[in-house]
Amino acid sequence: MTRFRDRAEAGRVLAGALGHLAGRDDVVVLALPRGGVPVAHEVARALGAPLDVFLARKLGVPGHRELAMGAVASGGVRVLHQAVIDALAIAPEVIEEVAAREGAELARREQAYRSGRPPLELAGRTVVVVDDGLATGATMRAAVTALRAQLAGRILVAVPVGPPETCQEMAREADEVVCVRTPRSFHAVGQWYDDFAQTTDDEIRALLALEEDDHGE
């Protein structure tokens, strides 16, 4: 299974798998920063759809940060996984402390990426959520959960690459999942890119500015 040259190429390949959405006026493309933005830029351009970032921060259990007890996300959404909280007897003040820390980082990134631009309206729309790949899928699950709370009409998760088991699990969360490549030998998203350099905040702002120019907003 061949690797992608970079995130831009991965986005063009992914866009080819999403052709059934091209030209529809109800479609919005949301990128999970940072790495999802250059991928989503290519997808949005190919589909003729508006692009925005969607920030989701998992609320990790203290001492076991990979285990999510909830999430905070764009739009002031907070979602709690009550079963995890109850099973581990997590105190309300602990939840508040973690939520405050992650919420502050989310707010910082919102300001850094949007520069005051309001988020796109999502209620009732078909939302394509894009990242540069799935590994455990924790952040994407948090995003999907938050988008449900924002009343998105239909949620489609789209990534260039991910392990088959994670893509299958994600199909239970989203209305539709597109994983272009699902290699069985999967250790990390970066192994499937020749160039997997970290996307910078400046690059994200530049891509969002291009999107704004394209749509005349």
> What is the model's pLDDT at position 217?
45
- Report pLDDT digits (tens) over 84-111: 899 999 999 999 999 999 999 888 888 8
| Spatial CB neighbours of 150, under 8 Å, sequence gap ≥ 6 | 75, 77, 122, 123
**How many residues are recorded in the chain?**
217
Residue range 8-25: mean pLDDT, rounded: 96
Tens digit of pLDDT for each residue in 116-172?
788 888 999 999 999 999 987 878 888 898 898 888 899 999 999 999 999 999 999
Cα separation of 47 and 211, whole Å?
12
The closest of 19, 115, 32, 35 to 71, measured between CA atoms, is 32
Is it true that the peptide bond before 34 is cis, omega within 30 degrees of 0?
yes
Position 214 scores a pLDDT of 62
Tokens 């899928």, located at residue? 137
First to last CA, the chain: 40
Smallest CA-to-CA distance from 20 within 46, 39, 50, 2 is with: 46
- Between 215 and 201, residue with greater pLDDT: 201
* pLDDT surpassing 70 at residue 204: yes
Question: Which pLDDT value is given to residue 128?
Answer: 98
pLDDT band at 215 (very low <50, low <70, confident <90, very high): low
Residue 126: its H or E element: strand 126-130
Walk me through the domains of the chain, giving residue ranges and CATH numbers. Answer: 7-55+122-212 (3.40.50.2020), 57-114 (3.30.1310.20)
Q: What is the pTM of this model?
A: 0.84
Q: Which residues neighbour 194 within 8 Å (Cβ) at sequence distance 6 or greater?
A: 3, 4, 5, 6
CA 27 to chain centre: 15
Which tens digits make up the pLDDT trace of 51-78?
999 988 888 899 987 787 888 887 777 8
